[in-house]
Amino acid sequence: MRVILASPRGFCAGVNMAIEALELALARYGPPVYVYHEIVHNKWVVERFRRLGAIFVNHVHEVPEGSLLFYSAHGVSPEVRAQAAQRRLRTVDATCPLVTKVHREAVRFAREGYTIILIGHAGHDEVLGTMGEAPEAMVLVETEEDVDRLVLPDASRVAYLTQTTLSVDEATRIVDRLRQRFPDIVGPPRDDICYATQNRQAVVRELASQADAVLVIGSQNSSNSRRLAEIARSCGVPAWLIDDASQLAAEWFAQGQTVVVTAGASAPESLVAECVQWLKDRFGASVESAVVRTENVHFPLPRELRS
């Protein structure tokens, strides 16, 4: 067996920043530190922080008054911030700067009188936070069919934004359909889909032509991880999305195959190493790295933790 390790893979700058920030908050203030929703969408990362004393909550009212509340990388709505202030909570904001950019664009478009079409997945933490910036002005679409059903008050004042972790191909198709329906539609100055999401998708798309199978390490609730598996399958290659090596099955593979291994932007490299070792042990796999793009992005810690 030949294993090709896709690069870049795994943690992005936003995830690195959020994880480092929560580690520092636990060390500086001591447990418990309450975290609004999962810090990142990865089962292993969340469970590790639970053991260290983080308490993950879905509602601000679950946090005792005066406690420390940590905002995850996916961002929160203004309503959540207001609720935290009412409960006199100390807060640390680890929202990914690329998500913050989308929030600011939503506020600007709403202020200028646009109806905003948000392309994203219903119920995703990032979508909930973004829509909370301008709930009266924003409509969510998930598919091209959703675009066809839109009825808007003024077709000449329409803008669009996207969730940062979408499939680039999927988002492009929906934006194209929006432009067909609303020729005057405007978008953000730069693509909202984050650099790391685009890079990881480009790597899978390029390497799929060499692969008999693609293995994606990431959790099922990770949007960017799910997109990687979907892209591989769209290229005609069997693909599996798994949390860790315990979910691997020998019947997925055969001797002599080429297996591309990658990881979503919230998956730790240690889990990738375990899966590669599993393939070595069972199939005598040789391992090589394929660097398709390079990344050197770094985000600063939240201002609350910089001193």
Q: Which residues are catalytic?
A: 126
Per DSSP, helices labelled H in the chain are: 13-29, 43-52, 78-86, 97-111, 125-131, 144-148, 168-181, 195-207, 223-234, 269-283
Measured CA to CA, the distance from residue 223 to residue 126 in angstroms comes to 10
Question: Would you give the distance in Å from CA 72 to the centre of its chain?
Answer: 11
Residues 6+ apart with CB under 8 A from 221: 38, 41
Query: In 62-83, which positions are buried (b, 16+ CB within 10 angstroms) versus exposed (e)?
Result: ebeeebbbbbbbbbbbeebbeb
Here the tokens at position 182 are 């609303």
Is residue 16 a contact partner of residue 1, using CB atoms and an 8 Å limit?
no
The answer to whether 116 touches 159, Cβ cutoff 8 Å, is yes
Measure CA of the first residue to CA of the last residue in the chain; give whole Å.
Answer: 50
d(C-alpha 307, C-alpha 147), whole Å = 47
Separation of alpha carbons 263 and 132, rounded Å? 30
Is the distance from CB of 304 to CB of 93 less than 8 angstroms?
yes
